[in-house]
């Protein structure tokens, strides 16, 4: 390629391609009130649905009296499980191989479970009528603790599974047991522990939290009885998967089902699953022949749609006396709630939790995850989690601190000692993951230098020595590795559909373009960044490239946006679709310039004749020719579609450091510094990456410092409104300092790895490690999130540190 001339530099800048901090194209609409969300959809004759929900967490339904509700003016229908039974729609399959009640069938399993639906002229009538439905319940004993649930005498929660000794993931050992999933080499690990000079163990609980997107879940279902076509606007992160599920459940051919995800006001994993509300609205529209809208309120969203975590973990490390880790063993009890509705790739009931050897070279490892039913809402995989990588990183990053404390080693030194070294990549972990690329030592040094780490430790020691110090000081480190880009379809599928993704690009005669994708943005800026990839690959300005997602009638089949998979999978599909177009464009250019293809050089936006840059054809010239002046025998048009099945996941990583001060009088924590270095390989749009990292760190701060979903013994969720559930604003949010290194993925066409979940995955253990580090001189090795002032103050009291 010729070195870009000065004019080349200008042309390159005009493309606004990869590496540019191109401003978000979406924002012009959003900041002028022109966003178009599900609740903005108004169809002629549209009716409204509301849901009658259970006040009890575990109860038998003795009777349901609809008469008062049906008598109310404006009410069109009240439907219960009995009405869905003839259609076999009162239960539905979950993505995890279980079934979930659409409307409670004889029994409710968690508070706020869907019991009946009301369809009315407007939302207010529907809400009033829902209150008028009288349900007679007989209370049953409630189980909210998964350890209690596994006791022999525990009440049977899922009577529908009576006698089923095996489930989707193997044998069931107890009536409330869902699965036991293991990975790694149990014998090799046991042997390493048996001979290890040093071992540590730690129990830790990662509490249940909720992603709480600003827009709640909802849909507008519209069945056209004349055409037999169903169109549903829905807040879905995976519209094609929804279409497949809806077609399978309803029997309507997939070609007559159209799912449209319009603008989405945040998903964060909350909008991956298929919820009873969607199914009910669709059934109601089919039954009534009219469009039906259902939009959750905040309490319904927090109480019933996909929560996250609820992992009770026991970790063990074996090591040498100087801190070289030789083995990791983990046992998890996972509270899945009433139905196993985790949105994981089919073969992985614990998601990608087995990435839990983290950034460390650990020879032997074994993990066991036991899924358990309780009387809580179902879900489990949500909230910027990369399929439970959040839990995995929390486990290993907490464990390494526990080991450092036991051995009296510095928490940075122990990490550097155990890091997988740069020359070991591609590195196969004890759990079988093949890490594609990484350079942890360089990144670590960059962060420690920036933080002035030795001085921080010295300051901490001085504080500890001073009985009059008003504040404790904690220094937290988290040096994580993510696994994103599900996935190679040989390993990852959803309901049997391989987890590839897709892109279709069409170049119009005048040189502008449209790209259609199987993914769907919820705020990640795909319309901005995807265009940048095409701009660089094809030499067409980003401004004239439209990116369209979310409509199953126009987009090629794709598995959607979650698990930070859009860049690793769809991003690769874009590049490869563009390269197909590029190859055809080269042929057309050769024809137009009357030279051989080999005589052409590609330069930014054009093909030059080798050695004579004055003879060239731009991509714009070629686009025009593609519709009127082609080499003999060549098909007209300039477009391509690519379905990309990745050969491997991508393994982004980060080094995070948090310094915080704890007020010994009040227990208040103040984050003094938070440094986040991320490496996501090739960076498409640094500004968007920065935005994703700020957002993920802020959500991580929320989880660590305030979010929780506590249940009382009766299964009442305490805190399902934004009065109680902590959403940080600019006031509480710390100032973030970001940094990066670039270690491209060797197997991705543009070397990019995902980034969106990293800041969340990495920051939560970093905050936890910082708070616990502040107390480490007292012998404390674990505290449970969230670290509210009251909880921290209790710790201060317990150790005689409160002022």
Nearest to 156 by CA among 58, 90, 56: 58
| 268 vs 275, beta carbon nearer ligand CUM | 268
Angle between helices 389-407 and 411-418 (to 10 degrees): 120
Torsion 206-207-208-214 (CA) sign: negative
Set 53, 258, 309, 384: catalytic member:
384
Give the span between the Cα atoms of 762 and 398, in whole angstroms: 11
When binding is defined by CB under 6 A, the residue of 231, 236, 301, 692 that contacts ligand MCN is: 692
Retrieve residue 369's tokens. 């995850």
Question: Measuring CA to CA, which residue among 642, 567, 547, 619 is closest to residue 15?
Answer: 619
Instruction: Pick between residue 274 and residue 792 the one whose CB is nearest to ligand CUM.
Output: 274
Gyration radius of the chain over CA positions: 28
Q: Smallest distance from the beta carbon of 268 to ligand MCN, in angstroms?
A: 4
Q: Which residue is nearest to ligand MCN (CB)?
A: 523
272 binds, among ligand MCN, ligand CUM, none (CB under 5 to 8 A by kind): ligand CUM
Q: Nearest CA to 415 among 399, 431, 436, 426?
A: 399
Of 177 and 694, CB closest to ligand MCN: 694
Give how far Cα 369 sits from Cα of 14, 184, 337, 651, Å: 52, 12, 15, 23
CA distance 547 to 530: 7
- Residue 266 contacts ligand MCN per CB under 6 A: yes
Active site residue 503: no
Q: How far is the CB of 57 from ligand MCN (least distance, A)?
A: 28
Among 78, 559, 689, 796, binds ligand MCN (CB under 6 A): 689
Catalytic residue among 280, 356, 367, 385: 385
CA 650 to the chain's CA centroid: 15
User: In this complex, which beta carbon is closest to ligand MCN, that of residue 190 or of residue 514?
Assistant: 514
Cβ closest to ligand CUM, residue 541 vs residue 560:
560
Residue 705 Cβ vs ligand CUM, minimum distance, rounded to whole Å:
20
Whether the Cβ atoms of residue 232 and residue 222 lie closer than 8 Å to each other:
yes
Where does residue 406 rank: exposed (0-12), middle (13-18), buried (19+ CB within 10 A)? middle
Residue 536 binds which entry of ligand CUM, ligand MCN, none, with Cβ cut-offs from 5 to 8 Å by kind?
none
- From the list 189, 427, 466, 434, the residue with the least C-alpha distance to 331 is 189
Cβ partners under 8 Å of residue 518, min gap 6:
240, 501, 502, 503, 549, 555, 556, 557, 558, 559, 560, 570, 573
757 is catalytic: yes
Q: Is 26 an active-site residue?
A: no
| Cβ–Cβ under 8 Å, residues 701 and 770 | no
Q: Which is nearer to ligand MCN, 74 or 686 (CB)?
A: 686
User: How many of the other CB atoms lie within 10 Å of CB of 713?
Assistant: 10
Give the shortest CB-241-to-ligand CUM separation in angstroms.
13
The C-alpha angle 228, 233, 236, rounded to 5 degrees, equals: 125
Residue 793 structure tokens:
């103050």
Least CB distance from residue 259 to ligand CUM, whole Å? 17
Q: What does the per-residue mask of binding to ligand MCN show for 176-215, with x meaning CB under 6 A?
A: -------------------------------------x--
Q: At closest approach, how far in Å is the CB of 555 from ligand MCN?
A: 15
Q: Which is nearer to ligand CUM, 133 or 209 (CB)?
A: 209
Residue among 59 and 755 whose Cβ is closer to ligand MCN: 755
Instruction: Decide if residue 683 touches ligand MCN (CB under 6 A).
Output: yes
The residue (of 268 and 294) whose beta carbon lies closer to ligand CUM is 268
Q: 682 vs 743, which CB is nearer to ligand MCN?
A: 682
Q: Which helix (H) or strand (E) holds 271?
A: none
529 near ligand MCN (CB under 6 A): yes
Positions that interact with ligand CUM (CB under 6 A): 237, 267-269, 272, 381-385, 562-563
The yes or no reply on residue 681 touching ligand MCN (CB under 6 A) is yes
Write down the least CB distance from residue 687 to ligand MCN, Å: 9
To the nearest whole angstrom, how small is the minimum distance from the Cβ of residue 734 to ligand MCN? 19
Q: Which stretch binds ligand MCN (CB under 6 A): 144-152, 170-178, 323-331, 523-531?
A: 523-531
Please identify which of the residues 522, 757, 766, 795 carries the catalytic annotation. 757
Annotated catalytic residue 111: no
| Burial class of residue 253 (count of CB atoms within 10 Å of its CB; 0-12, 13-18, 19+) | exposed
CA distance 255 to 291: 19
In whole angstroms, the minimum distance from the beta carbon of 216 to ligand CUM comes to: 16
Q: Of ligand MCN, ligand CUM, none, which one sits near residue 752, judging by CB under 5 to 8 A according to partner kind?
A: ligand MCN
Among positions 231, 305, 502, 524, the unique one binding ligand MCN when judged by CB under 6 A: 524
Q: Which two tokens stand for residue 797?
A: 């009291």
CB of 798 to ligand MCN, least distance (A): 36
The owner of tokens 């103040």 is: 670
Residue 381 contact, options ligand CUM, ligand MCN, none, Cβ 5-8 Å cut-off depending on partner type: ligand CUM
Question: Which residue(s) pair with 333 in the sheet?
Answer: 312, 370
In this structure, the number of other CB atoms found within 10 A of the CB of residue 243 comes to 24
**757 counts as binding ligand MCN under rule CB under 6 A:** yes
Beta-carbon contacts of residue 433 (< 8 Å; ≥ 6 apart): 354, 355, 483, 649, 651
Binding piece for ligand MCN, criterion CB under 6 A, among 195-203, 408-416, 438-446, 678-686: 678-686
Of 226-234, 262-270, 585-593, 669-677, the window that binds ligand MCN (rule: CB under 6 A) is: 262-270
Helix (H, G, I), strand (E, B) or coil at 193: helix
**Residue of 564, 618, 763, 795 interacting with ligand MCN (CB under 6 A):** 564
- Only one residue has tokens 């525990």, namely 154
Distance CA 168, CA 145 (A): 23
* Residue closest to ligand CUM (Cβ): 269
Q: Which of 16, 111, 113, 237 is catalytic?
A: 237
* CB of 381 vs ligand CUM, minimal distance in Å: 5
- Count of alpha carbons within 13 angstroms of residue 498, beta-carbon side: 13
Contact region with ligand MCN (CB under 6 A), list: 3-11, 163-171, 489-497, 561-569:
561-569
Which residue, 529 or 720, has its beta carbon nearer to ligand MCN? 529
- The side-by-side arrangement of strands in the sheet containing 545-549 is 545-549, 513-517, 501-507, 639-644
Q: Within the chain, how many helices (H) and strands (E) appear?
A: 20, 34
Q: Which residues pair with 602 in a beta bridge?
A: 607
471 neighbors 664 (Cβ within 8 angstroms): yes
Structure tokens at 182: 């293991």
Footprint on this chain of ligand MCN (rule: CB under 6 A): 213, 266-269, 384, 522-526, 529, 561-567, 680-685, 688-689, 692, 695, 752-757
Indicate which residues carry an active-site annotation: 237, 384-385, 757
């Amino acid at each position: 390629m010729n070195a870009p001339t000065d004019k080349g530099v200008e042309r390159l800048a005009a493309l606004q391609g990869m590496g540019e901090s191109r401003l978000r194209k979406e924002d012009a609409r959003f900041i002028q009130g022109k966003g178009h969300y599900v609740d903005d959809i108004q169809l002629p004759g549209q009716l409204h649905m509301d849901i009658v929900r259970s006040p009890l967490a575990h109860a038998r339904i003795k009777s349901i009296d609809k008469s008062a509700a049906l008598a109310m003016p404006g009410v069109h229908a009240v439907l219960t499980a009995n009405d869905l039974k003839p259609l076999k729609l009162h239960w539905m399959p979950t993505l995890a191989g279980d079934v979930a009640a659409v409307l409670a069938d004889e029994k409710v399993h968690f508070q706020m479970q869907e019991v009946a639906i009301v369809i009315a002229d407007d939302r207010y009538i529907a809400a009033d009528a829902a209150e008028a439905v009288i349900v007679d319940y007989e209370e049953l004993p409630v189980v909210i603790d998964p350890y209690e649930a596994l006791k022999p005498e525990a009440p049977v929660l899922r009577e529908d599974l009576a006698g089923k000794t095996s489930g989707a993931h193997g044998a069931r050992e107890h009536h409330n047991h869902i699965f036991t999933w293991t990975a790694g080499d149990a014998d090799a690990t046991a042997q390493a522990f048996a001979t290890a000079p040093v071992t540590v163990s730690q129990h830790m609980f990662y509490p249940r939290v909720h992603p709480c997107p600003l827009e709640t879940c909802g849909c507008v279902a519209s069945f056209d009885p004349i055409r037999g076509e169903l169109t549903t606007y829905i807040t879905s992160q995976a519209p094609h998967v929804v279409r497949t599920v809806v077609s399978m459940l309803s029997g309507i051919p997939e070609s007559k089902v159209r799912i449209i995800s319009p603008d989405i006001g945040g998903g964060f994993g909350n909008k991956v699953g298929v919820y009873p509300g969607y199914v009910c609205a669709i059934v109601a529209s089919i039954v009534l022949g009219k469009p039906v809208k259902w939009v959750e309120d905040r309490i319904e969203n927090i109480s019933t749609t996909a929560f996250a975590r609820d992992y009770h973990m026991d970790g063990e490390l074996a090591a040498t006396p100087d801190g070289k880790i030789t083995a990791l063993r983990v046992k998890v009890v996972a509270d899945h709630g009433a139905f196993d509705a985790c949105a994981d790739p089919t073969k992985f009931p614990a998601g990608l939790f087995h990435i839990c050897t983290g950034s460390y070279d650990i020879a032997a490892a074994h993990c066991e995850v036991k899924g358990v039913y309780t009387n809580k809402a179902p879900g489990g995989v949500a909230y910027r989690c990369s399929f439970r990588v959040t839990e995995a990183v929390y486990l290993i990053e907490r464990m390494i601190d526990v080991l450092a404390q036991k051995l009296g080693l510095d928490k940075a030194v122990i990490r550097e000692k155990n890091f997988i070294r740069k020359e070991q990549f591609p590195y196969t972990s004890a759990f079988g993951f093949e890490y594609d690329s990484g350079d942890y030592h360089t990144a670590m040094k960059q962060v420690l230098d920036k933080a002035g780490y030795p001085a921080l430790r010295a300051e901490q020691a001085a504080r500890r020595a001073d009985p009059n110090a008003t504040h404790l000081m904690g220094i937290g480190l988290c040096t994580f590795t993510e696994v994103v880009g599900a996935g190679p379809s040989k390993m990852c599928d959803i309901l049997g559909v391989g987890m590839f993704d897709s892109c279709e690009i069409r170049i119009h005669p005048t040189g502008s373009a449209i790209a259609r994708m199987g993914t769907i943005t919820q705020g990640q800026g795909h319309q901005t960044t995807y265009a940048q990839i095409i701009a660089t690959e094809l030499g067409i300005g980003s401004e004239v490239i439209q990116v369209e997602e979310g409509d199953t009638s126009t987009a090629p089949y794709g598995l959607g946006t979650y698990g930070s998979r859009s860049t690793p999978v769809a991003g690769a599909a874009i590049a490869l679709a563009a390269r197909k177009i590029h190859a055809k464009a080269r042929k057309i250019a050769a024809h137009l310039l009357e030279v051989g293809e080999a005589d052409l050089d590609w330069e930014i936006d054009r093909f030059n004749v080798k050695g004579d840059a004055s003879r060239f054809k731009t991509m714009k010239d070629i686009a025009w020719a593609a519709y009127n002046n082609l080499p003999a025998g060549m098909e007209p048009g300039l477009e391509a579609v690519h379905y990309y099945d990745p050969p491997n996941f991508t393994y982004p990583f980060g080094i995070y450091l948090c310094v915080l001060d704890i007020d010994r009088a009040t227990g208040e924590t103040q984050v003094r510094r938070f440094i986040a270095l991320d490496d996501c390989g090739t960076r498409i749009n640094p500004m968007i990456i920065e935005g994703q990292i700020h957002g993920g760190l802020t959500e991580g701060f929320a989880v660590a410092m305030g979010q929780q979903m506590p249940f009382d013994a009766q299964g009442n969720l305490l805190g399902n409104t934004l009065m109680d559930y902590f959403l940080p604003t600019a006031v509480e949010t710390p100032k973030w300092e970001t940094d990066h290194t670039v270690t491209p993925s060797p197997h991705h066409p543009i070397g990019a790895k995902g980034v969106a979940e990293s800041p969340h995955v990495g920051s939560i253990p970093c905050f936890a490690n910082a708070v616990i580090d502040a107390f480490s001189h007292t012998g404390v090795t674990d505290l449970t999130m969230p670290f509210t002032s009251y909880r921290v103050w209790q710790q201060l009291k317990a150790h005689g540190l409160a002022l």
